[in-house]
Amino acid sequence: MKLGYTVQLWREGDQYIAHAMPLDVASSGATPAKARTALTEAVDLFLKTAQKAGTLEQVLEETGYTRGVRGWLSPKWLKTEKAAALVAV
């Protein structure tokens, strides 16, 4: 079964962070490509672990996936945007 997810990628210092939404799994690497590869491995391990524990269906439902005719459907993102918050210093 294929399970779709959205990837966010950003830089923190000398590392790149890749984050899978809505699964909330993240990994890092020295380059964007290495971070993305590490994320793919992390998502695979996360899903296999949930499946082995018998909690995969629950995890998918809690993260917004719905069961479709051909498998699980990821949430439909309406918009991705940047925002800012005021922080007192």
pTM for this predicted structure: 0.87
Q: What pLDDT shows up at residue 89?
A: 86
Domain spans in the chain, listed from the N-terminal domain onward: 6-73
Q: What pLDDT shows up at residue 32?
A: 98
In order of 14, 25, 34, 39, the CA distances from 29 in angstroms are: 9, 14, 5, 9
Beta bridge partners of 21: 6
d(CA 53, CA 73): 21
Q: Is the pLDDT of residue 84 over 90?
A: yes
Q: Is the pLDDT of residue 81 over 90?
A: no
* pLDDT tens digits along 27-74: 999 999 999 999 999 999 999 999 999 999 999 999 999 998 888 999
